[in-house]
Amino acid sequence: MGQHLALILADPAGDPYAGQWSLVHGWLPIAAQAVSAVVLVVAVARRSRRWLTVWIPIAALVGAVVAYSVNRYITSQGMITKPIPVMLWIWIFLAGVAVVLAVAGWPRTRWRFRAASALSVPLCLLCIAIALNMWVGHFPTVQLGWSQLTAGPLPDEMDSAALNNRRARHDTSGHGAVVSVEIPSRASGFNHRRELVYLPPTWFATTPPVALPVVMMIGAAFNTPQDWLRAGNAIKSVDSFANAHDGYAPVLVFVDVAGTFNNDTECVNGPRGNAADHLIKDVPPFMVSRFGVRPPGLGWGVVGFSMGGTCAVGLTVMHPEVFSAFVDIGGDIGPSAGSVEQTTERLFGGSMAEWEKFDPRAAMHRHGQYSGVSGLFIAASPTPPRRTSSTAGHGAIRHCEYRGEADNPAAAAVLLCLSARRYGIDAAVVTTVGQHDWLAAANDFAGALPWLVAALGAP
């Protein structure tokens, strides 16, 4: 690991979304919420004291019930592992209020107030979406959000005919190519969506293509296979790397571990689907046969953000015969769908034996000493780590240490890193200052890519 640590210290090339309207920072989210608040106030303006006395308490009660019900549902489903921001609860409450006021305020009032009442409902719903997005960072910019919602073209996207034509011409100029693939699920039976593959310019140089390393890319709990390409800016990062290395870069496969947007499998086998089997038994054989990449083992890595980071660690320590390197960006200490009891029931059908089977630290203990496996844990913190002798650029690199607060998000990374090194995995922790969102994940991937390519045995 030591010879590769310097690579991670280089800063990514600035803001990956420079020049686009941000949905997570800046003036636009604030302006949208301010306009919505003004419209809601106008909706109740010039009402009689009696009307206000009757309907404002009823609306507030309904808003509180809506917020409470949403909280109960989210908690019961184990959808989150961190506190929901107050602003999101405020807009959920106000949306309930707006609905009641729109209905109660419609009769016997002027059209402008009716219009304000009607408009306040979709505006409050919009603010819920904005607050939720500011929390998770799923759509960093307006442009990316619109492209995702309208199924706009992906970066470097190419259809099969264009791909075959470029390959026949051995055209290594320009960017790589992204193609949509249907990976058979005969081994796993996992019901997944179409997945995506990035091929660097070098792949087109010869027939058959040179056997390139592969990086499996896994997104967060609520995801689509396109998330790393859009919100995670992965294609721009890997294209930049290829451009600086004569067209050489790993092949990236953007896998589906959910089947649907809200099916959090945590990449395990269980009631929510055999996601682990799909990633281990379906994807590697397809990639080797279809794209001529290196066989599983040395030369295969996995990168994940949030839930995907948890997957990256678990897949590697359970299957070192498939993966030789991982990058965990903001992952948990193990698969999680709520409390231990909830996780066991939801992910493993109540089987503690299955829970232990997929727990990364338990998997390391069962396996014993590893050889030729390396890993990088990247943890974002809202406050910088205490002074260290190895801080610069992208983050602070430590061999499984962190001198920040005890409840810092880096704690899970440190515990996993300590276990990994105990069993011979060449691991380290990188701490960065930032939020747990796609903007940070995009920068983290760009910063970690040179280390990962080196760890996979680049020529």
Residue pLDDT, tens place only, 303-350: 999 999 999 999 999 999 999 999 999 999 999 887 788 889 989 999
User: In this structure, are 231 and 314 located in the same domain?
Assistant: yes
| 381 vs 274, residue with greater confidence | 274
pLDDT higher than threshold 60 for residue 12:
no
Strand order from edge to edge, sheet including 374-381: 177-181, 195-199, 251-254, 214-218, 300-305, 325-329, 374-381, 426-433, 395-398, 391-392
pLDDT higher than threshold 80 for residue 17:
no
| 16 vs 193, residue with greater confidence | 193
Indicate whether 163 belongs to any domain.
yes
Give 269-273 contacts, CB < 8 A, sequence gap 24+: 269/354, 269/358, 270/346, 270/347, 270/348, 270/349, 270/354, 271/346, 271/347, 271/348, 271/349, 272/346, 272/347, 273/190, 273/191
pLDDT higher than threshold 60 for residue 2:
no
User: In this structure, are 38 and 73 located in the same domain?
Assistant: yes
Indicate whether 260 belongs to any domain.
yes
Task: Find the helix or strand (DSSP H, E) in which 269 lies.
Answer: strand 269-270
Q: pLDDT value at position 151?
A: 65
Indicate whether 79 belongs to any domain.
yes
Q: pLDDT value at position 255?
A: 97
pLDDT band at 407 (very low <50, low <70, confident <90, very high): very low
User: In this structure, are 79 and 183 located in the same domain?
Assistant: no
Q: Burial of 321 by CB count in 10 Å (0-12 exposed, 13-18 middle, 19+ buried)?
A: exposed
Indicate whether 18 belongs to any domain.
no
Mean pLDDT within 386-395: 40
Which residue do the tokens 């649907």 mark? 260
Q: pLDDT value at position 251?
A: 98
Indicate whether 15 belongs to any domain.
no
pLDDT band at 77 (very low <50, low <70, confident <90, very high): low
User: In this structure, are 291 and 333 located in the same domain?
Assistant: yes
pLDDT higher than threshold 60 for residue 395:
no
pLDDT band at 184 (very low <50, low <70, confident <90, very high): very high
β-pair partners for 269: 274
Indicate whether 12 belongs to any domain.
no
pLDDT tens figures, 118-138: 899 999 999 998 888 887 777
Which residue do the tokens 């406050």 mark? 383
pTM tops 0.75:
yes
User: In this structure, are 118 and 167 located in the same domain?
Assistant: no
3-state secondary structure of 388: coil
Indicate whether 101 belongs to any domain.
yes
pLDDT band at 171 (very low <50, low <70, confident <90, very high): very high
- In contact, 241 and 330? CB cutoff 8 Å: no
* SS3 sequence of 279-347: HHHHHHHHHHHHHCCCCCCCCEEEEEECHHHHHHHHHHHHCCCCCCEEEEECCCCCCCCCCHHHHHHHH
User: In this structure, are 319 and 403 located in the same domain?
Assistant: yes
User: In this structure, are 255 and 115 located in the same domain?
Assistant: no
Per cent of the chain over pLDDT 90 is: 56
- In contact, 266 and 344? CB cutoff 8 Å: no
Mean pLDDT over the full length of the chain: 86
Q: What is the count of structural domains for the chain?
A: 2
Mean pLDDT within 167-189: 95
| 30 vs 153, residue with greater confidence | 30
Q: pLDDT value at position 396?
A: 55
User: In this structure, are 167 and 71 located in the same domain?
Assistant: no
Q: pLDDT value at position 236?
A: 94
User: In this structure, are 179 and 253 located in the same domain?
Assistant: yes
How many residues belong to the chain?
459
Indicate whether 145 belongs to any domain.
no
pLDDT band at 459 (very low <50, low <70, confident <90, very high): low
pLDDT band at 262 (very low <50, low <70, confident <90, very high): confident
pLDDT tens figures, 42-67: 888 777 888 888 888 999 999 999 99
Taking residue 224's Cβ as centre, other Cβ atoms within 10 Å add up to 19
pLDDT higher than threshold 90 for residue 392:
no
Which range marks the domain in which residue 333 is found? Answer: 154-455
**CA-CA-CA-CA torsion for 408, 409, 411, 415, nearest 10 degrees?**
180
pLDDT tens figures, 78-102: 666 567 788 988 999 999 999 998 8
DSSP state of 199: E
User: In this structure, are 131 and 173 located in the same domain?
Assistant: no
Q: pLDDT value at position 408?
A: 57
Closest C-alpha to 330, from 241, 236, 182, 219: 219
User: In this structure, are 101 and 175 located in the same domain?
Assistant: no
CATH number at residue 378: 3.40.50.1820
User: In this structure, are 226 and 350 located in the same domain?
Assistant: yes
Give the CA angle between residues 230, 268, 376 to the nearest 5°: 60
